[in-house]
């Protein structure tokens, strides 16, 4: 629940002209919340330090975060950082470090976050099946597709019937050994990222001769 609240806060924030940069970070910050909870073994102090470190990370500071989580674990990265002390940075700090959110983040279940990671890993296996060997470039492209698909669909809401009531379904997970579990039915998956990719490919090709039809070329 706290993830939804903070995402909504970030969305509101990016609407302000001076905070447009926040929008470019919303997804990364959201994923960081999952990672903080999933990788801390239920240690509330560690989860909180990992979580608040993102307010420093966005301004390109990756060390001296806290006692238990002192520095970021990522390799050297390049991206458009938010300016330290700017209005956008202050807004990110206000949202990430709000007392209420920090309290909620400490209580995120590592198991829930693990299941999120597991669903991502199964998605990677869907795009890059283990039955087939892929060369590096192909594997990289498939993992990128899995990330695009996951990012677009991981926040789907619960589907509703035509009368507005929520949809549910029964499932029989292995660990229940025949027992039944009621789960929400999610909205239909979308593939907008595929349209965006096709548009980008088309724009890139428009500037080259390769987009010209063979008949055009032979007429010259």
C-alpha–C-alpha distance, residues 58 and 74, integer Å: 13
Choice between 78 and 209, CB closer to Zn ion:
78
Choice between 62 and 186, CB closer to Zn ion:
62
Choice between 62 and 156, CB closer to Zn ion:
62
C-alpha–C-alpha distance, residues 39 and 86, integer Å: 30
Shortest Å, Cβ 99 to Zn ion = 23
Shortest Å, Cβ 58 to Zn ion = 9
C-alpha–C-alpha distance, residues 12 and 6, integer Å: 10
R_g of the chain computed on alpha carbons? 22
Shortest Å, Cβ 36 to Zn ion = 12
Q: Are 167 and 153 in contact (CB under 8 A)?
A: no
C-alpha–C-alpha distance, residues 158 and 149, integer Å: 18
Choice between 57 and 106, CB closer to Zn ion:
57
Query: Which parts of this chain interact with Zn ion (CB under 5 A)?
Result: 57, 62, 72
Choice between 97 and 185, CB closer to Zn ion:
97
For residue 91, give both structure tokens: 């807004």
Closest listed residue to residue 13, CA positions, set 86, 83, 88, 96:
88
Shortest Å, Cβ 74 to Zn ion = 6
Query: How many C-beta neighbours within 10 Å does residue 95 have?
Result: 20
Choice between 65 and 149, CB closer to Zn ion:
65
Closest listed residue to residue 88, CA positions, set 32, 29, 3:
29
Shortest Å, Cβ 21 to Zn ion = 16
- Taking CB positions, which residue lies at the least distance from Zn ion? 72
Q: Are 36 and 105 in contact (CB under 8 A)?
A: yes
Q: Are 50 and 36 in contact (CB under 8 A)?
A: yes
Shortest Å, Cβ 43 to Zn ion = 20
């Amino acid at each position: 629940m706290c993830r939804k609240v903070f995402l909504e806060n970030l969305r509101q924030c990016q609407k302000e002209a001076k905070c447009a940069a926040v929008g470019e970070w919303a997804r990364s910050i959201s994923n960081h919340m999952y990672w903080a909870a999933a990788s801390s073994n239920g240690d509330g102090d560690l989860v909180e330090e990992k979580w608040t470190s993102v307010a420093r990370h966005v301004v390109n500071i990756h060390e001296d975060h806290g006692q238990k989580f002192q520095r970021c674990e990522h390799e050297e990265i390049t991206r458009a950082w938010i300016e330290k002390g700017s209005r956008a940075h202050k807004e990110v700090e206000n949202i990430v470090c709000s007392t209420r959110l920090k309290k909620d983040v400490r209580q995120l279940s590592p198991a829930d976050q693990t299941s999120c990671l597991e669903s991502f890993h199964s998605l990677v296996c869907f795009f890059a099946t283990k039955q087939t060997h892929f060369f590096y470039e192909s594997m990289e492209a498939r993992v990128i597709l899995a990330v695009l698909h996951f990012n677009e669909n991981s926040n789907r809401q619960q589907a509703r019937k035509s009368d507005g009531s929520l949809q549910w379904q029964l499932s029989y997970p292995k660990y229940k050994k025949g027992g039944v579990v009621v789960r929400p039915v999610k909205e239909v998956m979308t593939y907008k990222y595929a349209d965006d990719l096709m548009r980008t490919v088309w724009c890139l090709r428009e500037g080259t001769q390769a987009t010209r039809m063979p008949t055009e070329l032979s007429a010259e």
